[in-house]
Structure 1
Amino acid sequence: MSNSDNKELVDRYLVAYNAFDIDGMLAVLSPDVRFENYASGQLTDATNGIDAFRELAEKSKSLFSEREQRITKLTLSQNSAIADIAYRGQLAADIPGGPSAGTVLDLQGQSEFSFKDGKISKIVDRS
C-alpha cells in the first residue's frame, strides 16, 4: 500500500470517530485489530480483535456528547503512521472519581497506526 492509501485509512477512521460512526470506524480495521490506550504512560485500555474494539467503542461513545480528534502532524512510513492529535471532547456523563458531565477535555496526544492487508491493524493512543 502507498502512503496516500494509508493516509486515507487514517482520515476515514478519524472522520468516523468524530461522527460517532462505529461501523465506519470498523470498516477500515482488520479483523484482528489491536488497540491500546495510554494515559500518562499507563495502559488504561486494550483490546484484541474487532468485536472487542466494537464493545469498547460503544462504551466510549456514551461518555461524550461531542468529540473531535484533529491531526496536527502526520508522519507516514511504509506500514505505519504517527499522528500528533489535538483532542477535544465534552463529557456526557460523570466519570467516577473524575470530571463531571459537561466538562470539556482539551488534550494533546499521539496515535500510532499500523497497517496490514489494506486495513488498520493496530492503534496505539497516547495522551
Structure 2
Amino acid sequence: MNNVDKQKLEVIKSYINAYNSFDVKGMIKNLSSDIIFKNITNDTVDLVTNGVDEFKTQAEKAVSFFSQREQKIINAIQENDIITIGIDYTGTLAIDLPNGLKEGEILEMQGKSIFRFEGLQIIEINDIS
C-alpha cells in the first residue's frame, strides 16, 4: 500500500468503515452523484446501480441482509486514478436468502474492490468475488 495515494486510500477506508458500521450516509459521502456500482460474482455481473440514488437504495436494502458484516483491506494497488483493494469479507446473515443460505449462517470470502476516482470523489466501484 506504499505507492497508493494516501488521500484516496483514506476515502476508501472511510467508505469501508461506513459499510462495516451499516452507515449508508457515510458510504455515499465521497461518491459522485453519477456513481456506477457493479457487483460481480464468478465473472457474472449480478447487480448494477447508476447514480447515487440507486446506490443508496440498494445499500439500504442490503443492510437488512446481515446482522454483522466486515470488510478488511488486505492490500491496495494503484494505477492512475484506479485503486484496487484486496478484501477479506465476513458476514452473518440476518435473513434467509433465495439461494438457500439461512439466517445465522456466516459467509466468509475473499475478493477485491476496484475504485475509480475523479479527484477525491469515487465515480465507480466494482466489487468482485
User: TM-score, length-normalised on structure 1?
Assistant: 0.96
Q: Render the CA deviation track for 1:23-60: whole Å, top value 9, x for unaligned.
A: 00010111000000011111111100000000100111
Root-mean-square deviation over aligned CA pairs = 1.1
Q: Render the CA deviation track for 1:72-122: whole Å, top value 9, x for unaligned.
A: 111123311000100000000000132000000001001000001321110
Could you tell me how far apart the structure 1 residues matched to 2:29 and 2:80 are? Answer: 21
- Report the counterpart of residue 103 of structure 2 in structure 1: 101
Tell me the amino acid that sits aligned with residue 65 of structure 1. Answer: S
Alignment check: 8 A CA contact 1:3 1:77 kept: no
- Report the counterpart of residue 73 of structure 1 in structure 2: 75
List alignment gaps of at least 5 residues for structure 2: none
Could you tell me how far apart the structure 2 residues matched to 1:93 and 1:47 are? Answer: 23
Tell me the amino acid that sits aligned with residue 64 of structure 1. Answer: F
Candidates 25, 28, 31, aligned match of 2:27 = 25
Candidates 14, 38, 54, aligned match of 1:52 = 54
Q: What SS does structure 2 have at the residue aligned with 1:83? A: strand
List alignment gaps of at least 5 residues for structure 1: none
Could you tell me how far apart the structure 2 residues matched to 1:78 and 1:11 are? Answer: 18
Could you tell me how far apart the structure 2 residues matched to 1:54 and 1:117 are? Answer: 21
The ranges of structure 1 where at least 4 consecutive aligned residues each deviate by more than 4 angstroms after the TM superposition are none
